[in-house]
């Protein structure tokens, strides 16, 4: 057991003296070496589809900080693109996609059996990484959850309240559900291929789960995560799944048990003490330092990091941020956080 990678040990339910650590968006614009490689690739999407350069940016934060896990460099919006949606990024604004609001739009999507034509370079990135990563580093593959991906496909962009997706759900539920079902099946194929290429863990990002309430949360956040997890576990026994139903609040309680996920990732809207009592009692949790500390730093960063490590010290825990690190973060603050986790006496 003890020669296993630390992240895999935590995901198997082991309580470790020092939690393993990685960071959402650890490859990103806060790092000068990322900005240089992105410039070399030309633009963000070209970087995602250039397997050599995508592997390079995945490795950069591992070289700089020695994180315990590397997350594949890609994006949740590549799957809609593989399904036939147009996708582009507007500088300073974010992603844009062709929209899906009618049955006709939906019918134009390609068959899920054709997604690999677009996604093959992503599997190649995974293969390169599984050769090149240090032996102690775990490789995490990922996809967006169906609801979160659907919110972008319906609106054609990121939205604050996911209004267009909620509107389609209210006005044309059969079409909305057909999209969720198609994304669920496509996600299973996509993650399965990542695992076959060498991903050792997969994470499902449901960044907008918090805007689903009551029965909708069960039907469109929990049930798709359950289906994806169950089919993957059947096809690839032993590969752990991390679920991230961001801002689920009370919905975090029992989410791992209900879906079969091995770990629930927590955003920073819940306190570590609350989550230790109510969520970690069922198994591994990941999180949940506010990413703003990576910008502001100082003693507050060290204190809050230590408080989170302490709150989760009674059970399996992977240290992480509550959401992705932002481009304005200071790379030195990341090192401070790591020191506070790994060498609390020195920080
Ligand atoms: O300019 C740049 O270089 C692009 C910035 C960027 C990066 C670094 C985007 C655009 N995507 C990514 C990579 C990315 N995205 C990873 C790589 C691995 C890592 O280091 O973590 C991952 C896991 C994602 C996942 C992702 N993309 C999510 C889910 C997690 C989350 O942050 O909530 C979402 C919602 C996206 C969509 C997306 N891609 C990029 C942006 C700016 C956005 C958000 C758009 C919005 O405002 O809604």
> Residue range 132-142: average pLDDT?
98
Residue 41 confidence (pLDDT): 97
Q: Is 131 a catalytic residue?
A: no
> Residue range 76-100: average pLDDT?
97
Query: What percent of the chain has a predicted confidence (pLDDT) above 70?
Result: 98
pLDDT category at 2 given cuts 50, 70, 90 is: low
Contact 279, 251 (CB under 8 A): no
Measured CA to CA, the distance from residue 326 to residue 64 in angstroms comes to: 17
CA distances from 256 to 50, 142, 265 (A): 34, 17, 10
Query: Are 53 and 9 within one domain?
Result: no
What is the residue with the minimal CA distance to atom 35 of ligand 1?
207
pLDDT digit string (tens) for 198-242?
A: 999 999 999 999 999 999 999 999 999 999 999 999 999 999 999
Residue 344 confidence (pLDDT): 61
Query: Are 94 and 188 within one domain?
Result: yes
* Domains of the chain: total: 3
What is the residue with the minimal CA distance to atom 48 of ligand 1?
158
What three-state secondary structure class fits 283? coil
In a domain, 178, yes or no: yes
Residue 343 confidence (pLDDT): 83
B/e letters for 188-214, b = 16+ CB within 10 Å, e = fewer, are: bbbbbbbbebbbbbbbbbbbbbbbbee
pLDDT digit string (tens) for 44-57?
A: 999 999 999 999 99
Q: Enumerate the β-bridge partners of residue 303.
A: none
- Distance (angstroms) between ligand 1 centre and the Cα of 25 equals 7
> Residue range 267-278: average pLDDT?
98
Residue 345 confidence (pLDDT): 62
What three-state secondary structure class fits 265? strand
Q: Enumerate the β-bridge partners of residue 241.
A: 202
**Has residue 77 got a pLDDT over 90?**
yes
Domain endpoint, select from 233, 265, 297: 265
Catalytic residue selected from 152, 190, 220, 252: 152
Domain around 4: 1-21+266-347
pLDDT digit string (tens) for 282-313?
A: 999 999 999 999 999 999 999 999 999 999 99
Query: Are 5 and 41 within one domain?
Result: no
Question: Measured from the CB, is residue 26 less than 6 Å from ligand 1?
Answer: yes
- SS3 for 159-208, per residue? CCCCHHHHHHHHHCHHHHHHHHHHHHHHHHHHHHHHHHHCCCEEEEEECC
Query: Are 255 and 106 within one domain?
Result: yes
Q: Enumerate the β-bridge partners of residue 289.
A: 321
**Has residue 347 got a pLDDT over 80?**
no
Measured CA to CA, the distance from residue 17 to residue 21 in angstroms comes to: 13
Measured CA to CA, the distance from residue 241 to residue 262 in angstroms comes to: 5
In a domain, 206, yes or no: yes
Which helix or strand (DSSP H or E) is residue 242 part of?
strand 241-245
Residue 182 confidence (pLDDT): 98
- Distance (angstroms) between ligand 1 centre and the Cα of 75 equals 6
Query: Are 108 and 237 within one domain?
Result: yes
């Amino acid at each position: 057991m003890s020669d296993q990678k630390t992240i895999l040990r935590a995901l198997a339910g082991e309580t470790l003296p020092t939690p393993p650590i990685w960071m959402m968006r650890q490859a990103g614009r806060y790092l000068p070496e990322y900005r240089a490689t992105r410039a070399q690739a030309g633009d963000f999407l070209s970087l995602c589809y250039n397997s050599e350069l995508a592997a390079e940016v995945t490795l950069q934060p591992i070289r700089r900080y020695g994180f315990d896990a590397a997350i594949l460099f890609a994006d949740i919006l590549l799957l809609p693109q593989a399904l036939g949606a147009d996708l582009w990024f507007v500088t300073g604004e974010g992603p844009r996609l062709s929209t899906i609001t009618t049955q006709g739009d939906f019918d134009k999507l390609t068959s899920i059996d054709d997604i690999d034509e677009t996604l093959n370079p992503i599997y190649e990135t995974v293969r390169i990484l599984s050769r090149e990563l240090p032996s102690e580093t775990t490789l995490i593959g990922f996809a967006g959850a169906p609801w979160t991906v659907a919110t972008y496909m319906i609106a054609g962009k990121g939205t604050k309240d996911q209004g267009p997706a909620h509107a389609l759900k209210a006005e044309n539920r059969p079409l909305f559900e057909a999209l969720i079902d198609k994304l669920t099946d496509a996600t299973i194929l996509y993650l399965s291929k990542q695992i076959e290429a060498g991903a050792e863990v997969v994470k499902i990002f449901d960044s907008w789960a918090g805007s689903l309430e009551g029965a909708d949360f069960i039907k469109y956040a929990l049930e798709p995560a359950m289906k994806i997890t169950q089919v993957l576990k059947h096809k690839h026994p032993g590969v752990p799944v991390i679920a991230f139903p961001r801002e689920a609040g009370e919905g975090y309680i029992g989410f791992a048990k209900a879906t079969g996920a091995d770990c629930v990732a927590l955003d920073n809207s819940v306190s570590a003490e609350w989550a230790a009592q109510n969520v970690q009692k069922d198994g591994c949790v990941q999180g949940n330092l506010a990413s703003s500390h990576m910008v502001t730093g100082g003693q507050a960063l060290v204190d809050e990091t230590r408080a989170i490590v302490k709150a989760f010290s009674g059970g399996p825990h992977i240290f992480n941020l509550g959401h992705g690190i932002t481009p304005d973060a200071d790379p030195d603050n990341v090192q401070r956080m790591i020191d506070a986790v790994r060498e609390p006496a020195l920080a």
